[in-house]
């Protein structure tokens, strides 16, 4: 299993030299299972760089989990390049406590 953090900031993305060590993107976590499945947790601005990496690897099948629908957890989704490719397939899930807001 591999876990990568593509973004961990809250509320808004930030930039500047003080953010070089930990980055300035909002929440996005990538998990690669031992079966090489890709699980993406939240679609903050960190998903932009993840999307570019996945296209380079020619990977088009993902499972995506939204913990909740606050802006900082969905802000990057329109910039996730794989969603504009016809071969992309995403299975989306929402946290049971917030699933109604995810559907909306």
Q: Please give the pLDDT value at position 60.
A: 98
d(CA 2, CA 77): 22
Structural domains in the chain, CATH included, are: 2-103 (3.60.15.10)
Q: What are the pLDDT tens digits along the chain (104 aa)?
A: 999 999 998 888 888 888 888 889 999 999 999 999 999 999 999 999 999 999 999 999 999 999 988 899 999 999 999 999 999 999 998 876 666 666 66
- The β-bridge partners of 92 are 64
pTM of the shown model: 0.89
DSSP-derived secondary structure letter, 63: E
Q: Please give the pLDDT value at position 2.
A: 96
* Residue 82, SS3 per DSSP: helix
């Amino acid at each position: 299993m591999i876990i990568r953090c593509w973004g961990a900031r809250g509320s808004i993305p930030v930039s500047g030299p003080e953010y070089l060590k930990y980055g300035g993107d909002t929440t996005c976590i990538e998990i690669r299972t031992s079966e090489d499945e890709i699980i993406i947790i939240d679609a903050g601005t960190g998903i932009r760089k993840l999307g570019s990496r996945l296209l380079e690897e020619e990977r088009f099948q993902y499972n995506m989990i939204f913990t909740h629908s606050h802006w900082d957890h969905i802000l990057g989704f329109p910039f996730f390049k794989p969603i504009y490719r016809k071969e992309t397939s995403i299975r989306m899930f929402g946290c049971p406590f917030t699933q109604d807001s995810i559907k909306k």
